[in-house]
Structure 1
């Protein structure tokens, strides 16, 4: 995924399905200068991680 698409997803009210390594995640924040995104798992665990934006996939 690219920076502009992450920005669009963050500003959208739609429920956009994004995965990281095959796991569905929510994007919480974009750290553009580091090309990272803060994400958490969808579901009860809500484990938070910082991942490279190019590793995010829009389903």
Structure 2
């Protein structure tokens, strides 16, 4: 995924599925300057990771 699309998903009022290595994630923030996103893995608020947006994949379903 590119940084522009990650930002669009983050700002969207719709629920858009995103995965990190096959696991569903929720984008919590996007750092455009560094190409990074903080994501929540699964439904666990304590399980967050900061990853490069190019590791994220949008669900196409």
Same fold (TM over 0.5): yes
In structure 2, list runs of 5 or more residues that go unmatched: none
Query: What is the number of equivalent residue pairs in this alignment?
Result: 58
Gaps of at least 5 residues in structure 1 are: none
Return structure 1 stretches of 4+ with deviation > 4 angstroms: none
List aligned pairs for 1:27-46, cutoff 5 A: 27-43=27-43, 45-46=44-45
Q: Whose helix fraction is larger, Structure 1's or Structure 2's?
A: 1
Q: Deviations over 1:20-48 (max 9, x none)?
A: 011000001111111110000132x2301
The RMSD of aligned alpha carbons is: 0.9
